[in-house]
Structure 1
Amino acid sequence: MPPKTTDIVEEEELEPVADETAISARRVVAAYATDADEARMLFAMLGIAPGEDD
């Protein structure tokens, strides 16, 4: 089922996650990813790529 147009969020409307949340999410992704490429892809999808500290 395609998303509703009201479900689509523009990138500039997204707020960055807290540092502690991003660190925890990185650990979970790293623990469950099958390899480094999958981890990088998941980091990018979640917007928590390593080195994106603001």
Structure 2
Amino acid sequence: MADAKPAKPSTADLDEEEVEVPSETALAAQKVVAAYAEDADECVVLLDMLGIGRPLKV
């Protein structure tokens, strides 16, 4: 069954439950967003959209 695709969560499922991201995962995501953002303002907006907030202090 190589063609089987995982079921996509419904939008209702995504809205109801918040999942806490491990700090090391959030930090890695923040680094990627910062690397691709045009400027600091865009970086903050993108981080907020992803729900990982402003950069963590290391």
The TM-score with structure 2 as length reference comes to 0.67
> What value does the CA root-mean-square deviation take over the aligned residues?
1.8
Deviation at 1:43, TM superposition (A): 0.3
Task: Name segments (4+ residues, structure 1) moved above 6 Å.
Answer: none
Kindly tell me the number of residue pairs found equivalent between the two proteins.
46
Residue in 2 aligned with 1:36? Answer: 40
Residue in 2 aligned with 1:15? Answer: 19
The TM-score with structure 1 as length reference comes to 0.71
Contact 2:33 2:47 in 1 (8 A): yes
Percent of aligned pairs sharing the same letter: 48
Alignment partners' CA distance in 1, 2:43 and 2:55? 14
Structure 2 unmatched ranges of 5 or more: 1-9
Structure 1 unmatched ranges of 5 or more: 1-5
